Amino acid sequence: MLGKLIKHEIKATGRILFPLYLILLLLSVVNRVLTSIEVFSGPLNTIKVFMLSVYGLSVFASFVVTFIVMILRFYKNLMSDEGYLMFTIPVKPNQLINSKIIVSFMLNILSIIVVAASLFILLGTSKNIEMIKQIWDYIYINLKLSFEDKYAVLLAELIFMIILSLIQQILLIYVSIAVGHLFTGHKVLGSFAAYIAINTVGQILVTIIISILAVINGTSFEALDSIPQLLFPFSIVVSIIFCILFYLGTNYIFNRKLNLE
């Protein structure tokens, strides 16, 4: 059943996002052609500037619209009138949450890939590729010099930490919307307030824990924060804990405290 939910979610979100991603790729092709034309004045140059501006807005829109669609799909599909239907079909609430998380994560990653592909189409000249290669070699050499054999582990931890952070933000939005709907009125405002409150409390707790660890280890907060060997594993553990709490909180509200009125 989870597969069917995911398939339905992809279809619903794809109607909006896939055309947007396609437009972005087409704009990158058009701008690549226009930038290859050596014109510094006149109507064609104005068109080049205009199309580059449209492309920039499209890149921004790809991230923003993906984020908004992710929120609206969860809100409209589960917390509005559609929720009466969704919570009567023979699936558990956690399956509904899982389908939203999986598709939201996939779409956010897809938006990053599409933007990266469009930038490659637009800027992927041999000169730029060589410059990127030189920058990567510089970063690689410095990582190896600074952390020796641990650089590969740190890089893997960084990637894992970024993935967890994305999932954590998705779940934070979901639990905030669920908490906001516990109120009888002003549910949207309650969701915003819940997001700010949960996020603020989480940041305070992390700061307190880091400060305590700094005192125990006899080092300053700044020094502890600057050590990737300590910071990355700590951030990963914290993100996992928050993901579990946000997920369980959303699932509990859906099972025991659901309020669609």
Cα distance between residue 151 and residue 192, in whole Å: 40
Q: Which residues does 156 contact at the CB level (< 8 Å), separation at least 6?
A: none
- From its phi and psi, is residue 37 left (phi > 0), alpha (psi between -120 and 50) or beta? beta
Which of 105, 124, 143 is the last residue before a domain boundary?
124
Task: Output the pLDDT for position 60.
Answer: 92
Are 161 and 237 contained in the same domain?
yes
Are 20 and 107 contained in the same domain?
yes
Min mean pLDDT across 55-64, 124-133, 173-182 is at 124-133
Are 80 and 91 contained in the same domain?
yes
Per-residue pLDDT of 211-248, as tens digits, reads 776 676 655 544 444 556 677 788 889 999 999 999 99
For 182, counting Cβ atoms within 10 Å of its Cβ (0-12 exposed, 13-18 middle, 19+ buried), the class is: middle
Quote the Cα angle for 238-242-246, to 5°. Answer: 175
Are 150 and 249 contained in the same domain?
yes
Per-residue pLDDT of 62-94, as tens digits, reads 999 998 999 988 888 888 777 777 777 778 888
Are 151 and 258 contained in the same domain?
yes
Rg (CA), the chain: 23
Are 2 and 111 contained in the same domain?
yes
Number of separate domains in the chain: 2
Are 160 and 114 contained in the same domain?
no
- Domain with 54, as residue range(s), is 1-124
Per-residue pLDDT of 180-193, as tens digits, reads 888 877 778 888 99
Which of 73, 90, 124 is the last residue before a domain boundary?
124
Per-residue pLDDT of 43-54, as tens digits, reads 777 888 888 899
